[in-house]
């Protein structure tokens, strides 16, 4: 019963072959996102979920997988943050994750801009989610470098002063360039 595999045999999974298996993905060489519109609880959907490996599998899987998923979620959230969407009349969203119609028409309206920075600060022309994300990342890097420089030779750290220094209103960046200024130099001082 089964296949005997000798010790020391190298086994690998070939996602390219799995993704083109017509038993799992009907008509695999055709762009057809509607193949995923089968009920989530169906065996066909479960089989497709098991065989879908866009980032590989196991120890050697893509190290950027979590970053890619986070970016996809961010893009989706950004779309819904910037636009109000509504389904066309006669189309409803089923709780099982399926749409009742393949041709979904919906109205898009641009949302009003909100200033995410208090005290009239700007994003230096980057008034979009990417600009806001860049500033957040720069602030995290700045905090990390300050934290590293706050580690004392005895092995202790004065975290209270690090938090106090990061919270000073005078140190809040007013734009991207001033947020970038000095990042990286703090650890060297």
- Count of all residues that appear for the chain in the document: 189
Q: Which helix (H) or strand (E) holds 31?
A: none
> Would you say 62 is a known binding-site residue?
yes
Phi, psi of 70 (to 5 degrees): -65, -40
Question: Is 154 in contact with 113 (CB distance < 8 Å)?
Answer: no
Q: Which of 133, 113, 126, 141 is nearest to 175 (CA)?
A: 126
In terms of C-beta density within 10 A (0-12 exposed, 13-18 middle, 19 or more buried), how is residue 173 classed? buried
Query: What is the rounded CA–CA span in Å between residue 143 and residue 150?
Result: 10
**Do 150 and 159 form a contact (C-beta atoms < 8 A)?**
yes
Q: Is the dihedral of CA 84, 88, 89, 92 positive or negative?
A: negative
Binding positions for heme = 62
Q: Which residues are annotated as a binding site?
A: 62
């Amino acid at each position: 019963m089964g296949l005997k595999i000798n010790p020391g045999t190298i086994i690998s999974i070939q996602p390219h072959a799995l993704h083109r298996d017509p038993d799992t993905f009907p008509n695999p060489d055709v762009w057809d996102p509607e193949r995923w519109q089968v009920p989530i609880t169906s065996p066909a959907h479960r089989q497709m979920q098991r065989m879908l490996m866009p980032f590989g599998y196991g120890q050697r899987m893509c190290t950027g997988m979590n970053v890619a998923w986070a970016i996809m979620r961010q893009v989706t959230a950004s779309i819904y943050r910037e636009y109000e969407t509504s389904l066309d009349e006669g189309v409803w969203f089923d709780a099982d994750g399926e749409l009742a119609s393949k041709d979904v028409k919906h109205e898009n309206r641009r949302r009003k801009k909100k200033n995410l920075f208090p005290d009239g600060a700007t994003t230096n022309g980057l008034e979009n989610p990417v600009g806001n994300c860049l500033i957040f990342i720069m602030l995290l890097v700045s905090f990390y470098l300050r934290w590293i420089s706050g580690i004392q030779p005895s092995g202790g750290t004065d975290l209270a002063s690090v938090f106090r220094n990061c919270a000073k209103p005078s140190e809040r960046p007013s734009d991207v360039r001033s947020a970038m200024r000095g990042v990286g130099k703090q650890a060297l001082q």
